[in-house]
Structure 1
Amino acid sequence: MPATGAPAPGRRNLAQPPTTTSEHGNCPTLYEHVETGDIVVQGDRLTDPEDLAQLRDVGDHETFVVIPRELLTRFAPKE
């Protein structure tokens, strides 16, 4: 994403809660990839070792972010 907080070309901002935890107010946020319809999630990286130890089948290329449940239940596409 560009540093300005604007979605990258081909991305549409779907949701950002009115109160954010980001220093710059950019996250957590949901984006939609315009061409594929895939959802891109922006949030604080999950770093707690106990939480990470419970996750399974994690690829080297994968990472995890934490987002409020409200963001998904209120703003995620319902299609």
Structure 2
Amino acid sequence: MHAEFLGKDPESTEGASPTLFATDRADRVTYVAQGWKVTDPQVLADVGPVPDHETLIEIPEEVLKFYARRYQQENGAGN
């Protein structure tokens, strides 16, 4: 599996860059998100138990726009 860079938070500093990648999995469409690890106790309580093989990350809305752009391009939206 490979990851294709889609974009990073334009307001982030070097080394602290929430980023979104698309994978080339053959069996399903997936994305890899790099973001800030969630440590806020209230958020963790609101979400509830997270399996040991998973983690919660926080990413800015600006980063999600890269997903929306890719989705629109692949599905012919906006033509």
TM over 0.5, yes or no?
A: yes
> After TM superposition, where is structure 1 displaced by more than 4 Å over at least 4 residues in a row?
none
Counterparts in 2 of 1:47 and 1:57: CA distance versus 1, 3 Å: closer
> Which 5+ residue runs of structure 2 have no aligned equivalent?
none
How much does 1:63 deviate? Answer: 0.4
- 1:39 and 1:52 map into 2 onto residues whose CA distance is 22
- 1:28 and 1:59 map into 2 onto residues whose CA distance is 22
- 2:6 and 2:49 map into 1 onto residues whose CA distance is 28
- Aligned match of 1:33 in 15, 23, 43? 23
The structure with more radius of gyration: 2
How much does 1:58 deviate? Answer: 2.2
Identity %: 37
Normalised to the residue count of structure 2, the TM-score between the two structures is 0.71
SS in 1 for 2:47: coil
Alignment RMSD: 2.0
- 1:54 and 1:35 map into 2 onto residues whose CA distance is 31
Paired residues for 1:1-79 under 5 Å = 10-21=2-13, 23-25=14-16, 27-36=17-26, 37-56=29-48, 58-72=50-64, 74-76=65-67, 77-78=70-71, 79=75
How many residues are aligned here?
A: 68
**Structure number with higher relative contact order (C-alpha < 8 Å, ≥ 6 residues apart):** 2
